[in-house]
Amino acid sequence: MIELFKSAQLLVGQAGDGAGTAAQPGGLAQGIMSFMPLILIFVIFYFLLIRPQQKKQQQHQQMLQNLKRGDQIITSGGIYGTIESLDDKTVQLKIANQVKIKMSRSAIAGVQTGETGVSEE
Span 16-40, pLDDT tens digits: 444 444 455 667 888 888 889 999 9
Same domain, 77 and 103: yes
Same domain, 82 and 48: no
- Please indicate whether residue 35 or residue 14 has the higher confidence score (pLDDT): 35
Residue 13 lies in a domain: no
Same domain, 102 and 90: yes
Assess contact for 93 and 101: CB atoms under 8 A: yes
pLDDT band at 118 (very low <50, low <70, confident <90, very high): very low
Rounded CA-CA distance 17/117 in Å is 83
What's the domain range around 101? Answer: 68-111
Could you tell me the strand order of the sheet in which 99-104 lies? Answer: 99-104, 90-96, 80-86, 72-75, 108-111
Same domain, 52 and 39: yes
Same domain, 72 and 55: no
**CB-based burial label for 107 (10 Å; 0-12, 13-18, 19+):** middle
Instruction: Give the pLDDT confidence score for residue 58 in this predicted structure.
Output: 96
Same domain, 52 and 73: no
Residue 79 lies in a domain: yes
